[in-house]
Amino acid sequence: MKLLSHPILLEHGLESHPESPKRLQAVLEAIEKSPYHNLLDLSISRRATIDELELVHTKDYIDRVLSGGHLDSEMEITAETVEAALVAVGLGLELLEQKRDGFLLVRPPGHHAEPSMGMGYCLFNNIAIAAKKAIQIGYERICVIDFDVHFANGTQKALEGDSRILLMDIHQENLYPQGFGAASIVLPAESGDREYLELFEAVIKPKVRRFCPELVLVSAGFDAHESDPHGNMHLTTEGFGKLAKGLSELAPQLILFLEGGYNDYFLARNVLETVRQLCLLRL
């Protein structure tokens, strides 16, 4: 079990932005003060190559990101943003190549990034590129599970239709971005631990067991937490821990990617509880 992150990921974005460097800073400080500090590796700066980005994204879109400017009214692409985005993808590929379990403590997040368009604070789709890369290097059955409170529009566009990939995207109905895809599992606002854990037992677990994946990739967003300003759900820190335990029991190899979570204090607590549960089973 490894926790990968890198200081360059803190160089992108503004402290006044909702997806600010303070989020990841809070997570890293909590890990460094915890019993899991020796799992954290900040030394690897593997960058995704253009060929790897093209596993999901169009050449025109990649060129647009790499040349900088404004993605939209909310995100400026600086040189540091480009570096952070390339490393955020690259660290996932690093764990894949090492055939390790792990949690990518990265930003910018990825699951809203579509093949030809970034949005929702996301530039490149970290998890979708990892899934495509896994197929390229010989994995035959991959499960991708997204429990961020928002619809994973980008991941669905990138991965839908590939029978080697089972995608399940749990998200709150009528939240950003509007719409849903074939992989959507929609929960009403105000759902909490009971609803999420029942869904896990009744839907996620049997589907994953039937599919029998070699690798489970998880978009781990923590904005369904009861404290989060962007969602309207009531998951608790203990609830996230139970979800992590359940996922861990299902996966021969498990790699999590940090997505959303906008209450810095609880984001750090939720990541720490997730790591604690994963370490009970997979250290």
Q: Where does this chain touch Zn ion (CB under 5 A) — which range of 162-170, 197-205, 236-244, 256-264?
A: 256-264
Give whichever of 102 and 260 is closer to Zn ion, judged by the CB atom. 260
> Could you tell me the smallest distance in angstroms from the CB atom of residue 109 to Zn ion?
7
* Binding residue for Zn ion, selected from 19, 101, 146, 223, defined by CB under 5 A: 223
Q: Which of residues 178-207 bind Zn ion (CB under 5 A)?
A: none
| Whole-number Å distance between alpha carbons of 65 and 124 | 9
Give whichever of 12 and 111 is closer to Zn ion, judged by the CB atom. 111
For the stretch 71-78, contacts whose Cβ atoms lie closer than 8 Å and that sit 24 or more positions apart, written own/partner, are 71/118, 71/119, 71/123, 72/118, 72/119, 74/17, 74/121, 75/13, 75/17, 75/118, 75/121, 75/123, 77/123, 78/12
| Whole-number Å distance between alpha carbons of 220 and 104 | 9
169 binds Zn ion (CB under 5 A): no
Cα angle for residues 16, 105, 239 (degrees, 5° grid): 95
> Could you tell me the smallest distance in angstroms from the CB atom of residue 112 to Zn ion?
8
Torsions phi, psi of 154, nearest 5? -70, -45
Helices (H), the chain: 21-32, 50-53, 59-66, 79-98, 126-136, 153-159, 193-199, 205-211, 237-250, 264-282
* Binding residue for Zn ion, selected from 107, 132, 133, 150, defined by CB under 5 A: 150
221 binds Zn ion (CB under 5 A): yes
148 binds Zn ion (CB under 5 A): yes
Q: Where does this chain touch Zn ion (CB under 5 A) — which range of 23-31, 34-42, 222-230, 236-244?
A: 222-230
Under DSSP, the state recorded for 2 is E
Q: Which of residues 54-93 bind Zn ion (CB under 5 A)?
A: none
> Could you tell me the smallest distance in angstroms from the CB atom of residue 140 to Zn ion?
30
Catalytic positions: 112
273 binds Zn ion (CB under 5 A): no
Binding residues for Zn ion (CB under 5 A): 148, 150, 221, 223, 260
